[in-house]
Amino acid sequence: MTLENNIIQYTIQAVKELYGACLDAHQVTLQETRKEFQGQITVVTFPFIKFSKKSPEQTGQEIGAYLKIKIDEIIDFNVIKGFLNLSASDNFWVSRLNDIGDEGFGIFSANGKKILVEYSSPNTNKPLHLGHVRNNLLGFSVAEILKSSGYEVIKANLVNDRGIHICKSMLAWQLFGNGETPESTGLKGDHLVGKYYVIFDQQYKIQIQRLIAEGQTEEDAKKNAPLINSAQQMLLNWEAGEEQTLALWKKMNDWVYSGFNVTYNKLGVDFDKFYYESNTYLLGKDTVEEGLKNKVFFKKPDGSVWIDLTADGLDEKLVLRADGTSVYMTQDLGTAELKYHDFKMDESVYVVGNEQDYHFKVLFLILNKLGKSWAKGLHHLSYGMVDLPSGKMKSREGTVVDADELIDEMMRTARERTEELGKVENFSAQEKEELYRMIGLGALKYFLLKVEPKKRLLFDPKESIDFQGNTGPFIQYTHARIKSVLTKGNYQKHQSAFYSSELKALERDLIVILNKYPDTVKSASAEYSPALIANFTFELAKAFNKFYHEEPILKADEEDVKQFRLELSAATAMVLKKGMKLLGIEVPDRM
């Protein structure tokens, strides 16, 4: 029984005994006591005054007195308007520290539930850019958070490895590539393929202009340009399984995959399962059959299959073409079934940009109407686009912030910044590289993850990402600083913390924050929000630095005070490290 639960239970009891009303647990709201007032935990008593028929102050006094008698840990209280501020004893907080310092603190035991997180899902015609980076970091972090809160997690990547856009790169390479390979050019495979995707678009535009000059309308020119026709023919050849086309496709996709692997490794993301659209794009027709049988879908005279969602405020939606071929929805219905067949997971999260909000709304609705038992566990983690000051990023036009370049740039900045500070003279060359990698990536990841997923993000390449204030390096620095003190103080983990004198306010504040970590993990998991973890680690690091500045640790007057503060510092370092790990960020011991 936690103290919080105790307070809720006894508050219910108090309202019953004093005012004769029965409350539900969720009618009692607790919150942190604001720091300008005495106490740590606050009960909002406004809702009770309709039962007490007394002023908020009077009501708070009565309930406060009741709680103080009933709960040992509560040693004091004060009332301000409708807020009952409770103070717990120092003994209570010191004893909390024993749990907080535990390895398993904030890591929940298995809840028996399985969840699949699908993220990344790149197209194989171009390298990854900043938008993909946001997706990858979000997906990875959410997976870590879910693990920490007790789920069994499967990380899946549904690779879009076929389609007209892939054929465009293939065709351009065939026509203009002169047999270039990653080896011959020294280019990363995904960049080489992306280069031909751009070339396709340039040449295509030239052809369009030529046709327009010859008197065609723009619309006709776009349809009649030889390049686009060849690309479409190539797609047909691919679908027909034509050998040469398949060989080219395989060769270029392999280039891309080795390029992606490098980027994934640098970002520190990984996957348990890969799905390829070349294997799944024909799925879903059985599901359509099933839907027809159940009268969830209907057939139009031309033979195309639809679902009527007008009763749900949406439109009619096509699920199968008249000629029996699939559309995007068909494929996603089939893939959803496949994933469930493979893993029997209780829940499934799709990390996909908000431009597909409507698609997923419809997809989930259809699966629900089809009566799939697992459909209610589906969730679209929608995130906002990353825009540049100049507007949207467009791969075709080359106006993107490339993932690899960005990562390199971040590491370079980390190097410059660190060298300016002159703190790494005694690091080996290898240690330095490792450190710049940690700091550069830490800054980038934190920058992208501290913002709520659904908000759109503006990224200005000219303004480099900060290393001070609410940033990854600030938290990394705090961790390194603590480690340094622990080393100097010859810190050994003790069986249990004890403290003979009164807690200092900053010490108590720090424990109160540390104590919130498990709840923060739970909320972040329920809301799929790494931003909550980021905010927490920042709040914690800030509180520690404040404490560190005001209260001597190694130079404390009493030995037990010194030991206690070392214990408190060690616990802080551990929780910072855990929190950052959930964001996919490593923390150095020195920096």
Is residue 167 near RNA by the rule CB under 7 A? no
Residue selected from 454, 493, 505, 560 as contacting RNA according to rule CB under 7 A: 454
Residue selected from 57, 58, 111, 163 as contacting RNA according to rule CB under 7 A: 163
Residue selected from 51, 176, 328, 374 as contacting RNA according to rule CB under 7 A: 328
Between CA 221 and CA 207 the distance in angstroms is 8
Contacts of residue 175, Cβ cutoff 8 Å, sequence gap at least 6? 203
- Which DSSP symbol is given to 114? E
Q: What is the x/- site pattern for RNA, positions 191-230, by CB under 7 A?
A: ----------------------------------------
Instruction: Name the one range near RNA by CB under 7 A: 17-25, 179-187, 260-268, 485-493.
Output: 485-493
Look up tokens 């011991």; give the residue.
589
Identity of residue 283 = L
Question: Residue 163 or residue 461: which is nearer to RNA going by CB?
Answer: 163
Please, which contacts does 185-188 make with residues 24 or more away whose CB atoms are closer than 8 Å? 188/127, 188/258, 188/259, 188/262, 188/404
121: left (phi over 0), alpha (psi -120 to 50) or beta: left
Between CA 550 and CA 553 the distance in angstroms is 10
By CB under 7 A, the residues from 505 to 534 that bind RNA are 523, 527, 531-532
By CB under 7 A, the residues from 296 to 315 that bind RNA are 300, 302, 304, 313, 315
Residue selected from 149, 348, 471, 520 as contacting RNA according to rule CB under 7 A: 471
Helix and strand numbers (H, E) in the chain are 22, 14
Is residue 456 near RNA by the rule CB under 7 A? yes
- Which DSSP symbol is given to 181? -
Tokens standing for residue 340: 């469930």
Three-state secondary-structure class, residue 302 = coil
* Least CB distance to RNA at residue 241 (A): 18
Question: Residue 34 or residue 210: which is nearer to RNA going by CB?
Answer: 34
Residue selected from 96, 126, 396, 481 as contacting RNA according to rule CB under 7 A: 481
Residue selected from 19, 477, 528, 564 as contacting RNA according to rule CB under 7 A: 477
* Least CB distance to RNA at residue 413 (A): 9
By CB under 7 A, the residues from 33 to 92 that bind RNA are 33-34, 36-37, 42, 44, 46-47, 80-83, 85
Question: Residue 177 or residue 280: which is nearer to RNA going by CB?
Answer: 280
Q: Is 278 within 8 Å of 418 (Cβ atoms)? A: no
Tokens standing for residue 20: 């004769």
C-alpha angle 152-155-161 in degrees, rounded to nearest 5: 155
Is residue 461 near RNA by the rule CB under 7 A? no
Three-state secondary-structure class, residue 116 = strand
* Least CB distance to RNA at residue 330 (A): 8
Is residue 555 near RNA by the rule CB under 7 A? yes
Residue selected from 131, 384, 518, 579 as contacting RNA according to rule CB under 7 A: 384
Between CA 530 and CA 115 the distance in angstroms is 17
Question: Residue 29 or residue 261: which is nearer to RNA going by CB?
Answer: 29
* Least CB distance to RNA at residue 97 (A): 18
Torsion from C-alpha of 131, 135, 138, 143, nearest 10 degrees: -170
Residue selected from 423, 433, 493, 496 as contacting RNA according to rule CB under 7 A: 423
Between CA 126 and CA 196 the distance in angstroms is 9
* Least CB distance to RNA at residue 82 (A): 5
The kind and range of the H/E element at 39 are: none
Instruction: Name the one range near RNA by CB under 7 A: 68-76, 98-106, 393-401, 468-476.
Output: 468-476
Residue selected from 109, 426, 430, 468 as contacting RNA according to rule CB under 7 A: 468
By CB under 7 A, the residues from 393 to 422 that bind RNA are 414, 417-418, 421
Question: Residue 262 or residue 282: which is nearer to RNA going by CB?
Answer: 282
Question: Residue 223 or residue 417: which is nearer to RNA going by CB?
Answer: 417
Q: Which of 288, 72, 265, 259 is nearest to 183 (CA)?
A: 259
By CB under 7 A, the residues from 232 to 291 that bind RNA are 277, 281
Tokens standing for residue 505: 């306010």
* Least CB distance to RNA at residue 344 (A): 25
Residue selected from 458, 493, 558, 560 as contacting RNA according to rule CB under 7 A: 458
Three-state secondary-structure class, residue 274 = strand
Question: Residue 177 or residue 384: which is nearer to RNA going by CB?
Answer: 384
Is residue 553 near RNA by the rule CB under 7 A? yes
* Least CB distance to RNA at residue 482 (A): 8
Q: Is 194 within 8 Å of 127 (Cβ atoms)? A: yes
Between CA 520 and CA 578 the distance in angstroms is 12
Q: Is 140 within 8 Å of 119 (Cβ atoms)? A: yes
* Least CB distance to RNA at residue 40 (A): 10
Instruction: Name the one range near RNA by CB under 7 A: 128-136, 140-148, 465-473, 492-500.
Output: 465-473
Question: Residue 370 or residue 386: which is nearer to RNA going by CB?
Answer: 386
Identity of residue 564 = F
Three-state secondary-structure class, residue 501 = coil
* Least CB distance to RNA at residue 440 (A): 9
Using the Cα atoms of residue 455, residue 456, residue 457 and residue 458 in order, give the sign of their dihedral.
Answer: negative
End-to-end CA distance of the chain: 41
Residue selected from 54, 68, 113, 321 as contacting RNA according to rule CB under 7 A: 321
Is residue 473 near RNA by the rule CB under 7 A? yes
Q: What is the x/- site pattern for RNA, positions 133-162, by CB under 7 A?
A: ---------------------------x--
Q: Which of 406, 476, 416, 487 is nearest to 442 (CA)?
A: 476
* Least CB distance to RNA at residue 436 (A): 9
Contacts of residue 164, Cβ cutoff 8 Å, sequence gap at least 6? 231, 232, 235
Is residue 488 near RNA by the rule CB under 7 A? yes
Look up tokens 């629900």; give the residue.
368
71: left (phi over 0), alpha (psi -120 to 50) or beta: beta
Three-state secondary-structure class, residue 319 = strand
* Least CB distance to RNA at residue 81 (A): 6
Residue selected from 148, 149, 245, 326 as contacting RNA according to rule CB under 7 A: 326
* Least CB distance to RNA at residue 528 (A): 11
